[in-house]
Amino acid sequence: MEFIAFTIAIAVAYQALKGYRLSKERTLLYLNLSFVLLGAGLLIEGLSNLVVVLARFHRGFLILAPIGYTINFITQVLAYGVLIFTYVQQTRKMGVEVAMAAVPLLLFERNAFTELILIFLLAYIAIQTLINYSINKTTTSLLVLGAFVSLVLSHMFFLLFTLAPLFFAFAHIAQLFGFLLLLAMLLRVNQPT
Amino acid sequence: MIPGEQATPAKAAAKYRSQLRIYVDILRVIQRENNQAKPTRILYGANLSHDRLLKYLDELKTLEVIQETGTDDKVYSLTQKGIEFLNNFRRVESFAGAFGFKI
């Protein structure tokens, strides 16, 4: 599922890059960066999980799973952070200087704290896309809204996964559904006039 | 900008954006007029002064996105390149708009 999501994220990034080349609009460059980061994280976590499975959960390879998750977590935080920065800049037109704090290098297993951070970031983006849909009322903005709501839900399910394993499947389905909605948006935008 | 002053990237980008937007407005007026627009229609439709309209029409002709026909009564129409440019811009505008970004 990560590989499908990776492919869609890269397709969105490519569309944003094409838009930037035409319009020289910086927000599209940030959008491109955001989805490249998302795609990279998904690819790395997908590959690390694949290696663990192919190695039949050999003890020597198990370390790859938290490494993959940690990288995906960091890239997601950066990607959603870039997207939030773009929304804030668009609405407030303020210059923001970002000071990167020294982050101690830790490896994360999937846990409630990291999922809560992602839910918080995604919820902000989902609210922005909801505001956009309430103003524009276009199908494409509805698809983007649906995508980010699905991604919020997927991380809520990942949070609930600590209580019941069943939610792990729900989380992946919600994540895939979110990226499929983004794919539908891309296809709609690019349909011939 | 003061003559001789070096444009900062931000200023240059802002200038380019507004110029792009004016180009698109002109092309859309021509398209709306069934691809046969007189300068007066473009002037009102794109909300430009006469001098600026002539400047932008010259630039668009140089870019080969519009063509001029007629001698006394000039008429402007989109070229194939102009139609493709407008289609590409519509896609970019729709894509950015889906996320709530304006271009």
The pLDDT value recorded for residue A169 is 87
- Cβ B16 vs Cβ B24: under 8 Å: no
- CA distances to A29, A116, A176 from A151, rounded to whole Å, are 22, 13, 9
Query: Measured between beta carbons, which residues in chain B are less than 8 angstroms from residue A86?
Result: 101
Query: Measured between beta carbons, which residues in chain A are less than 8 angstroms from residue B20?
Result: 23-24
Whole-number Å distance between alpha carbons of A171 and A185: 21
- CA distances to A39, A115, B34, B79 from B39, rounded to whole Å, are 48, 59, 14, 17
The pLDDT value recorded for residue A24 is 84
The pLDDT value recorded for residue A103 is 47
- Cβ B26 vs Cβ B33: under 8 Å: no
Domain boundaries, chain B: 15-85
Checking if the pLDDT of B22 tops 80, the result is yes
Is the full-model pTM beyond 0.80? no
Minimal CA separation from A176 to chain B, in Å:
19
Give the amino acid at B49: S
User: What is the CATH code of the structural domain delimited by B15-85?
Assistant: 1.10.10.10
Whole-number Å distance between alpha carbons of A58 and A68: 16
Q: Is B95 close to A186, i.e. CB distance below 8 A? A: yes
Q: Is B98 close to A190, i.e. CB distance below 8 A? A: no
The pLDDT value recorded for residue A109 is 63
Residue pairs between chains A and B whose CB atoms are closer than 8 Å: 77
- Cβ B96 vs Cβ A19: under 8 Å: yes
pLDDT tens track, chain A, 193 positions: 778 889 999 999 999 999 999 888 888 999 999 999 999 998 998 888 888 887 777 777 777 788 888 888 888 889 988 888 888 887 654 444 444 444 455 566 667 778 888 899 999 999 999 999 999 889 999 999 999 999 999 999 988 887 788 888 898 899 999 999 999 999 999 887 6
ipTM over 0.85: no
Three-state DSSP at B68 gives: strand
Q: Is B94 close to A189, i.e. CB distance below 8 A? A: yes
User: Encoding tokens for residue A50?
Assistant: 């694949």
The predicted-structure confidence for B29-38, as pLDDT tens digits, reads as follows 999 988 888 9
Interface residue B13 vs chain A (CB under 8 A): yes
DSSP assignment string, chain A: -HHHHHHHHHHHHHHHHHHHHHH--HHHHHHHHHHHHHHHHHHHHHHHHHHHHHTTT-GGGTTHHHHHHHHHHHHHHHHHHHHHHHHHHHHH----PPPPP--------S-HHHHHHHHHHHHHHHHHHHHHHHHH--HHHHHHHHHHHHHHHHHHHHHHTTT-THHHHHHHHHHHHHHHHHHHHHHHHTS--
User: Encoding tokens for residue B47?
Assistant: 């909300």
Three-state DSSP at B78 gives: strand
The predicted-structure confidence for B45-103, as pLDDT tens digits, reads as follows 888 888 989 999 999 999 999 998 887 788 999 999 999 999 989 999 999 989 888 87
Query: Measured between beta carbons, which residues in chain B are less than 8 angstroms from residue A143?
Result: 98
